[in-house]
A and B are shown apart, each in its own frame.
Chain A
């Protein structure tokens, strides 16, 4: 069974600084997808970034980038120039086509941003 682990229950960062959230996963599949979702207090899950496992290049979206280490089964999220609006729960998630694209989520990391 696929599992996703986020070992940091809480992280804090100073506004304008950089923070990295960790995620590891376990799978025997070779073709899969990894995601980072943000969940603010309003509860609405918002996709931050996605990575296809077959792509060697790390995905980036503005201030958000990932470090995808396929052999180590590691998928960390780096947030640069942190803003107050980045404060939220962040969930790492995994999916693969043979499972109907269902998402398997990690337990989440609460990110606090200090002004």
Chain B
């Protein structure tokens, strides 16, 4: 079945440094979604990408969908302590239900 992989699993950064998480799917995706989960919290929707090569920005966050629609990335510029959490990508499987990646846990040292 479909697999969605994320790297790295963990990332420690100094506040102010940049951060990137990568998402790779074993199958071509019609779209990809990104979620953020704060420690002890629940996943919260961030964004959806649909078009090949699409790039979307939300303040310091930049999301990219690969040309082949099999990979995606999330880049955070100048991290802040409020960015702490786990970031998940998710893509629809053959049944149109979302398959989540394992997540990247971001830790920010002040």
Q: Do A and B come from one complex?
A: no
